[in-house]
Amino acid sequence: MKKRKARLVQGNRACAEGALAAGVRFFAGYPITPSTEIAEIMSEELPKLGGKFIQMEDEIGGMTCILGAALTGKKVLTASSGPGISLKQEAIGYAALAEIPCVIVNVQRLGPSTGGPTSTAQGDIMQARWGTHGDHPIIALCPSSVYECFTLTVTAVNYAEKYRTPVYVLLDEIIGHMREKVEFPDISELEIIDRKRPDCPPVDYLPYKIDKTLIPAMADFGTGYKWHVTGLMHDETGFPTGKPEIIDAQLKRLMNKIEKYEDEILLWEDIETDDAEILIVAYGSTARSAVEAVENLRTEGIKVGLFRPITIWPFPEKALRSKLENVKHIIVPEMNYGQLSLEVERVCKDKAPVSGLYKVNSLPLSPNEVMAKVREVL
Amino acid sequence: MRPDLQHLFRMEKLPHIWCPGCGHGIITRAIAEAINESGIDLDKTVIVSGIGCSSRAPGYMNFDTLHTLHGRALAFATGVKLANPELNVFVITGDGDATAIGGNHFIHAARRNIDLTVILFNNNIYGMTGGQYSPLTPTGKMAATSPYGNPENNFDVAALAIAAGASFVARGTAFHDKLLVNSIKEGIKNKGFSLIEALSMCPTSYGRRNKMGSAADMIKHLKDNAVNVVTAQKLPPEKLEGKFLIGTLHYKPYREFTEEYDKLIARVQKEGK
């Protein structure tokens, strides 16, 4: 066993190191607080590994540049925040429709608009789901610790490659800038997934083939497959089509390819939920306050538990419903005005009432505030 | 279609969608001819485009082709080229795509002198959306959104590229076919950012509004008003009034971005700094 050393590491650095461990060898981005450390670290580390870093002229350039790189076969990453993520939305839709694997780290800051560059928030939950126009699938992972910033970025890269889709890693400013003592797994201990590449001759290659897997193989540019990529509605060959039945079949495949694999995509954690009468649903840095609240309230004999969705999108609704047997009330603390609450309510409203605990003023939600809310609904 | 160029096209995708009289078909064929004569590896060639009439060209061409977002062809192409510098990367773009919505990527790709061969189909108008004025619509000209004449100044896109750092800049037209093919070949040869501005004609959305006559009249206009840059040097200024220059306008090779990045990698891996 290789001897490892525990280190004090920042969340943003953990994301960058996770990406490198997962095989990311191309980064394009634009400086923005509070995500910039990721770009800085990638600019330093990628050349050492023969990878490429480029600081683009704007956020849109950062997003579109990684898509070009991904088409040559590279695993790619960009990182941004608030205004930058808004600017990237058109290209994220392109990645979804053209099915180009890529990972976007969003270190959430207070919004809307310029908002609070160094202030924490969780206001981009619905943007991650619906930020670009049109129906499309998305995967969004939400770490709660520095360690998870590393492991979930590895997972995000794997998911992007496996499902040919854009994947978000949604940090909030607290998680991005927090430092914790960690000991990351060695690369040899990680499962690393590469995209499926075609094994057929170029003449038979269908880059958007509809088969049982729903995930077509993807050829690297420059390997003789000579395929066409477009953001227009396209058929199995990748060329534009206006035929309603083909558009329908391709878009259904696109939506279903994530749904079909939900059992292997969905991640969550639950604490003290077996007998819980009050269930807190929290994610990101807010979940850390919720954990402390649960621990404190349990010492008083209050039957409270925590359900922490790690994949925010798709939302682990079956898992959440399975924890509701004794639950009389659900509390959703968020640093927004009730974004994931809507989803929790959709999933749980026939079982228990859902109360939000919302705070959007640049400050984190404290354990005391969560505890007070629990006492309020007791 | 000339038999010697057919392998460069996806013949089953033709005929193209462009209007009768459009110059884009001529320019697309000129690109294929230049690629053919350059002898570059066709499997290692990627053609990237944005959105607009010209940006539909790659769909007809038998390469790895990437039809991207409006204005973003150069940013996608930067990713393709930097990720795999072995690839020959072409960008097909239009006047609106490259100089309005994509203007920022245009100047920065030129500034980096990244090895891309950019063919800008300049028809002076947004054709696909029905003829609105672009940054290359000359002042005073009529367009769907300048019904009283274009009140804005237009760019000289060749001058813009030179100022921004392009190492090769040429201008051709849909009439001056041989010269256009040669300019594209020179652009391919240049290791750096090459811009070939290819003047096209849009009888449907531009010529019609500006009473420029038929497509044949418009191509004659290109013929009559173009002056070769070599000839121009011998002409007095008054002879050049109202004319435009064609040929190689600028050629000054210097450090290319992807080569420099590879050197950086080699240095960091060897010396750690």
- Do A171 and A37 share a structural domain? yes
What value does the mean pLDDT of chain A take?
97
Q: Give the pTM.
A: 0.98
Q: Looking at the partner chain, which of A50, A54, A230 has a beta carbon nearest the beta carbon of B82?
A: A54
Residue A92 pLDDT? 98
How many domains does chain B fold into?
1
d(CA A322, CA A116): 38
**Chain-chain contact of A68 with B66 (C-beta, under 8 angstroms):** yes
H-type alpha helices, chain A: 11-21, 36-45, 59-71, 82-87, 89-98, 125-130, 146-163, 173-177, 244-259, 262-265, 284-299, 317-321, 340-348, 367-377
Q: Look at residue A69 and tell me if it is in a domain.
A: yes
B68 contacts on A by Cβ (under 8 Å):
64, 67, 94, 231
> CA A188, A223, B4 angle in degrees (round to 5)?
175
Domain that includes residue A121, residue range: 7-189
Q: Look at residue A217 and tell me if it is in a domain.
A: no
B65 three-state secondary structure: strand
Mean pLDDT of A351-365: 97
Burial A227-251 (b: 16+ CB within 10 A, else e): bbbbbbbbbbbbbbbeeeebeeebe
Q: Do residues A280 and A370 make contact, with C-beta atoms less than 8 angstroms apart?
A: yes
Other Cβ atoms within 10 Å of B244 Cβ, number:
16
Q: Do residues A328 and A305 make contact, with C-beta atoms less than 8 angstroms apart?
A: no
Single out the residue in A173, A189, A205 at which a domain terminates: A189
Residue A84 pLDDT? 98
Residues contacting B223, CB < 8 A, separation 6+: B173, B175, B176
Backbone dihedral region for residue A113 (phi beyond 0: left; psi -120 to 50: alpha; all else: beta): left
Q: Look at residue A229 and tell me if it is in a domain.
A: no
* CATH at A359: 3.40.50.920
Residue in this structure with the two tokens 């093919």, named with its chain if needed? B181
* CATH at B177: 3.40.50.970
What value does the mean pLDDT of chain B take?
97
List, as one string, the DSSP characters of A32-95. -TTTHHHHHHHHHHTGGGT-EEEE-SSHHHHHHHHHHHHHTT-EEEEEE-HHHHHHTHHHHHHH
pLDDT at A4 over 80: no
How many domains does chain A fold into?
2
Backbone dihedral region for residue A347 (phi beyond 0: left; psi -120 to 50: alpha; all else: beta): alpha
Span B235-244, pLDDT tens digits: 999 999 999 9
Single out the residue in A189, A216, A241 at which a domain terminates: A189
Whether the upstream peptide bond of residue A112 has omega within 30° of 0, thus cis, is yes
- Assigned token pair, B144: 């769907």
Span A214-255, pLDDT tens digits: 999 999 999 999 999 999 999 999 999 999 999 999 999 999
Span B260-271, pLDDT tens digits: 999 999 999 998
d(CA A22, CA A185): 12
Distance of CA A52 to the CA centre of its chain: 23
**From B261, which residue of chain A is nearest by alpha-carbon distance?**
A52
For residue A280, the cross-strand partners are A306, A331
- Do A178 and A290 share a structural domain? no
**Chain-chain contact of B46 with A221 (C-beta, under 8 angstroms):** yes
pLDDT at A3 over 70: no
A90 contacts on B by Cβ (under 8 Å):
69
Mean pLDDT of A2-10: 84
- Do A160 and A28 share a structural domain? yes
**Chain-chain contact of A69 with B83 (C-beta, under 8 angstroms):** yes
Given a cut of 50, the residues of chain B with pLDDT beneath it are none
Q: Is B201 on the interface with A (CB under 8 A)?
A: no
**Chain-chain contact of A61 with B261 (C-beta, under 8 angstroms):** no
Q: Do residues A341 and A353 make contact, with C-beta atoms less than 8 angstroms apart?
A: no
**Chain-chain contact of A56 with B78 (C-beta, under 8 angstroms):** yes
* CATH at A183: 3.40.50.970
**From A232, which residue of chain B is nearest by alpha-carbon distance?**
B67
Q: Look at residue A206 and tell me if it is in a domain.
A: no
Single out the residue in A174, A189, A204 at which a domain terminates: A189
Residue A2 pLDDT? 59
- Would you give the end-to-end CA distance of chain B in angstroms? 54
Q: Look at residue A212 and tell me if it is in a domain.
A: no
Q: Are strands A52-55 and A24-29 parallel, antiparallel or unpaired?
A: parallel
Q: Is B80 on the interface with A (CB under 8 A)?
A: yes
A158 three-state secondary structure: helix
**Chain-chain contact of A221 with B68 (C-beta, under 8 angstroms):** no
Q: Is B48 on the interface with A (CB under 8 A)?
A: yes
> CA A42, A172, A139 angle in degrees (round to 5)?
80
Q: How far is A146 from chain B (nearest CA, A)?
A: 27
- Which ipTM was obtained for this model? 0.97
